Structure 1
Amino acid sequence: MLLVFAPASPSFAKSKKDTRMSDYTKVKSAYVMDAKSGQTLYENHADRQLPIASLSKMMTLYLTTQAIKHHQLNWNDKVPVDNQLIKMSKSYALGSFKIKHSNQYTVKELYQAALIASSNSAAIALGKAVTGGNNTKFISMMNHQAKAWGIDANFVSSSGLDNTDLKHYGYQLSGTSDKAQNMVSAKAISIVAQHLIKAYPQINQWSNKATYKLDGQTLVNANSMLKPGYYYRASNHLTGLKTGYTETAGLCLTITYWRNGRELIATIIGSQSTFSAMNGLITHLDKTVRSKPVTEASKTYDIQGRKVTVNPAEKQTRVWYRIGQDPNKINVTSKLMTTKLPVKKGQPLTTTNFNHTGLPSVTNQNGTAAETVAKPVAKQGNATGTNWFSRLFAGIGKAFSQIF
């Protein structure tokens, strides 16, 4: 089942502590990053492509959000839902939100159903709404966006369902095998989450809901780390984000939580105890990682003879470092990505590295152009010749005037 997580019952636990926190290393893959800077705090096989089940829906929700921002969709638009998706929504194994009638639900309602209850039908319907009814085109958009971000991802489904399920409803992508599924790395899906919460910061108004009433139904969030779930810990300061499960993927989870005034994104893929493993990972980082404030200033570069000012992504940022590193040695460096003009205001021009942290130095922060700078004006090819002839004839004229 894609939607239901089955947390261990407390009655079978050795102790309360054991059930709420387990070995965070016993997972297929894990990754933790700073949501704003993109700095890596932790990685365990983070670049390995794996099945991610319903974590895939974060890309669907991102593209839906972008369609709304660009006025291609409206939150209140009615979305047509075909009979096969209505049938899927009523499946015991694949449905979590029953769609009663076509054209009954808005973009907003389907967004909530896909996010909170992980409704597969709602996610597929949203993808089709973005592309005017073309599921194949939407999945192409998912892969194109992943490529544009430079992340490790291959999507065949907007919901995260495998073709083993999709083929029964006519949603197997042409040209893919009967067992094909979305293959994405923990780092890649964390970056998708980063873009999603940046595009729609208000998403936690829904992603932090354990339950939510919609159209006379109760949407149930499978994330047991949310209050009042068994794995809830107030100290986590958790705000969402998405769960996933298939038999091949195992339990998958991406969360957002806060530390030292910074939002962090953590993903675990392929665990039999994802919630307790995530609590263990959070505790591990609390014990081994610290952060310090760093001030960054604008810098000026010479590009093709023109001065270009680059503003930092954050004037006041926080750099994470491993305990044992000397925080006084930490520094921030920027590398220019282009040597060509023109550049547009707001265009990313530099990459940012955090050095001497004991953690990976690369971030996905970019310094951006403070203003638009045009190409240098090219000199006319005959300008020198014209001036030479002008001077020549001027000199001849002056000589003759002296003679006569």
Structure 2
Amino acid sequence: MFTRNTPLKIISCLLLAACISFGSFIQTSYAEEHLMDFAEKSGFPVKEAYRPKASIVIDADSGQILWEEQPDLSWSPASIAKVMTMYLALEAMEQGKFTLDTTVTATEKYVNISQIYALSNNKITLGVDYPVRDLFSMVAVPSSNVATLMLANLVTDNDEAGFIRKMNEKAAELGMTNTTYFNCSGAQIRAFDGLYEAPGIDPDGDNKSTARDLAILTYNLIKKYPEVLQFTNKPVVTTMENTPYAETFETYNYSLPGAKYGFDGVDGLKTGSSPTGGFNYIATAKKGDTRLIEVILGVGDWSDQEGEYERHLAGNAILEHAFSTYEYKKLLSKGSNKINGKKLILNQDFYGFAKKETEPSFTLTDGKLSLANEYGQVSPNIPAKSVQYREVSEKGSTDKPVKIEKKKAVQLSSTKKEGHNYLAIGILAVFGLLLLILSRVFKKRIAGVRRGSRKASTPLTRLLFSLGILSILSAVGLFIFF
């Protein structure tokens, strides 16, 4: 029914829609620069050309995500695929199939693979027995393709296709839902010049994964086999020590302390690069009792080898941001607590990661309390940390609403109130829109003065933007609740 207030309602709706759309546009612009802004403040500035295509940081204990950007982008992990090979080798050792002292004898096939110039490798000498512990170091540090294949063949008794199937089965088991493996090392099978045979597997297949999936893999790897870090935590390693076949390698993980871009606390894990994947790496870092896992994918381009170094500037910046933004602490004490308007009794203290200088919020589900996190968990297979509670009922108010007998008076009052509400909504919406426009105009003018500067916002533009958003939210609140 068309009433006197209908035009006000229509105008209010249109203004709200326009303001929300405009505000969203501006917010997106700010979000796009977020990584670049905190990278500059962290002391690890990132150039736009080397901004990662995808990244994620999680707590290694709980699986809670602390930072993410395009975590589900499908990408070629390159030599990071070797992490799954190490996982399966460690699992086979756990099952008693072999030990770190077990040796693999170098055959003519392995010698020939080690001499393929296009593949990252190390020297392999015919007839020499290579201990598994040295093969692990060769895989982890110089990223040796031949050592990776030697390790994989030990796991599945030279069934090379069987090992690749095993990789995909394990990925599915761990919840890596967007990962497919076509080889054990990150190099396509065809690159091995016919020396790597896996019937039924596409020889030109390029492994695919995501930052999220690789974080899930690393989470499980460190949880189950923390000893893997002994092979990844040194900037320089020597394999086959005290033998005529000794070789010394410098790490490609330049974020390790002692390396070019050393970051305090980093102790692994694996880098990878290829023509299709650019420059990638997984890092794990520990400060105090806190360990974080980070995945960086798609830094730079294969044609520009500076990406090999720049990935570590980006990675260090994101790690620094996560460590400085979050803290692990006691969030609630055992016993009585008031949460979400309810009185709860917790059966133990509750600890978790929360942003510094902010009040954490919580979710209550099926008698369990957990931390509400803007990014959530890295995988549904890894539930959020929680604590059991019981709710204590409190007596509510017995006051009853007062009846107004004069129905006509109520209708008149309601109509007048609606008119005032819609007028207030319109004023707030227009005011908010004007503030947003002003913040945008001032930002452009400042950007014009500071040519070449990415950071054009000032305290004034941020204040105008904040007040504009506040006005719009107030209008939305009036529109919905009154």
TM norm. shorter chain > 0.5: yes
- One-letter amino acid matched to 1:78: T
CA distance in 2, matches of 1:105, 1:317: 48
Deviation at 1:361, TM superposition (A): 5.4
The structure 2 residue matched to 1:53, chosen from 78, 100, 110, is: 78
Equivalent residues of 1:34, 1:41 under 8 A apart: yes
Give the structure 1 partner of residue 269 of structure 2.
241
The structure 1 residue matched to 2:253, chosen from 184, 208, 223, is: 223
Equivalent residues of 1:85, 1:169 under 8 A apart: no
Equivalent residues of 1:322, 1:359 under 8 A apart: no
Give the structure 1 partner of residue 311 of structure 2.
274
Secondary structure, counterpart of 2:219 in structure 1: helix
Deviation at 1:281, TM superposition (A): 1.0
- Unpaired runs of at least 5, structure 2: 1-39, 241-245, 301-309, 335-346, 387-482
Aligned Cα RMSD in Å? 3.0
More helix by share: 2
Secondary structure, counterpart of 1:140 in structure 2: helix
Give the structure 1 partner of residue 207 of structure 2.
182
Equivalent residues of 1:65, 1:199 under 8 A apart: no
- One-letter amino acid matched to 1:249: G
Secondary structure, counterpart of 1:180 in structure 2: coil
The structure 2 residue matched to 1:158, chosen from 145, 163, 184, is: 184
- 1:74-93 equivalence runs, <5 A: 74-93=99-118
Secondary structure, counterpart of 2:376 in structure 1: coil
**Which sits farther off after the overlay, 279-288 or 205-214?**
279-288
Equivalent residues of 1:52, 1:245 under 8 A apart: yes
**Which sits farther off after the overlay, 140-149 or 107-116?**
107-116
The yes-or-no answer on 1:122 pairing with 2:138 is no
Give the structure 1 partner of residue 55 of structure 2.
30
Alpha carbons of 1:30 and 1:86: their partners in 2 closer, same or farther (altered >3 Å)? same
Equivalent residues of 1:325, 1:357 under 8 A apart: no
CA distance in 2, matches of 1:259, 1:317: 21
CA distance in 2, matches of 1:222, 1:317: 39
Measured against aligned partners, the alpha-carbon deviations of 1:147-181 in whole angstroms (never above 9, x if no partner) come to 11121210011111124513x14325434445321
- Unpaired runs of at least 5, structure 1: 1-15, 298-311, 337-351, 369-404
Deviation at 1:27, TM superposition (A): 1.2
Equivalent residues of 1:21, 1:278 under 8 A apart: no
CA distance in 2, matches of 1:114, 1:270: 21
More strand by share: 1
- One-letter amino acid matched to 2:247: Q
Secondary structure, counterpart of 2:165 in structure 1: helix
Give the structure 1 partner of residue 329 of structure 2.
292
The structure 2 residue matched to 1:191, chosen from 216, 224, 228, is: 216
Deviation at 1:191, TM superposition (A): 1.2
Measured against aligned partners, the alpha-carbon deviations of 1:281-314 in whole angstroms (never above 9, x if no partner) come to 12322443333335799xxxxxxxxxxxxxx9xx
CA distance in 1, matches of 2:117, 2:289: 41
The yes-or-no answer on 1:258 pairing with 2:274 is no
The yes-or-no answer on 1:73 pairing with 2:103 is no
- One-letter amino acid matched to 1:253: Y
- One-letter amino acid matched to 1:230: K
Give the structure 2 partner of residue 62 of structure 1.
87
Measured against aligned partners, the alpha-carbon deviations of 1:348-402 in whole angstroms (never above 9, x if no partner) come to xxxx88433333257614899xxxxxxxxxxxxxxxxxxxxxxxxxxxxxxxxxx
Residue identity over aligned pairs, in percent, reads 25
Alpha carbons of 1:114 and 1:334: their partners in 2 closer, same or farther (altered >3 Å)? farther
- One-letter amino acid matched to 1:139: I
Give the structure 1 partner of residue 359 of structure 2.
326
CA distance in 2, matches of 1:291, 1:18: 20
Deviation at 1:213, TM superposition (A): 1.1
CA distance in 2, matches of 1:74, 1:257: 27
Give the structure 1 partner of residue 415 of structure 2.
none
Equivalent residues of 1:86, 1:101 under 8 A apart: yes
- One-letter amino acid matched to 1:251: F
Equivalent residues of 1:52, 1:244 under 8 A apart: yes
CA distance in 1, matches of 2:252, 2:383: 32
TM-score, with structure 1 as normaliser: 0.70
CA distance in 1, matches of 2:122, 2:254: 19
Give the structure 2 partner of residue 101 of structure 1.
126
Secondary structure, counterpart of 2:272 in structure 1: strand
Secondary structure, counterpart of 1:33 in structure 2: strand
- One-letter amino acid matched to 1:357: N
- 1:344-355 equivalence runs, <5 A: 354-355=370-371
CA distance in 2, matches of 1:93, 1:317: 52
Equivalent residues of 1:116, 1:207 under 8 A apart: yes
Equivalent residues of 1:136, 1:173 under 8 A apart: yes
**Which sits farther off after the overlay, 59-68 or 279-288?**
279-288
Alpha carbons of 1:34 and 1:334: their partners in 2 closer, same or farther (altered >3 Å)? farther
- One-letter amino acid matched to 1:261: D
CA distance in 2, matches of 1:102, 1:19: 50
Equivalent residues of 1:68, 1:74 under 8 A apart: yes
CA distance in 2, matches of 1:356, 1:19: 30
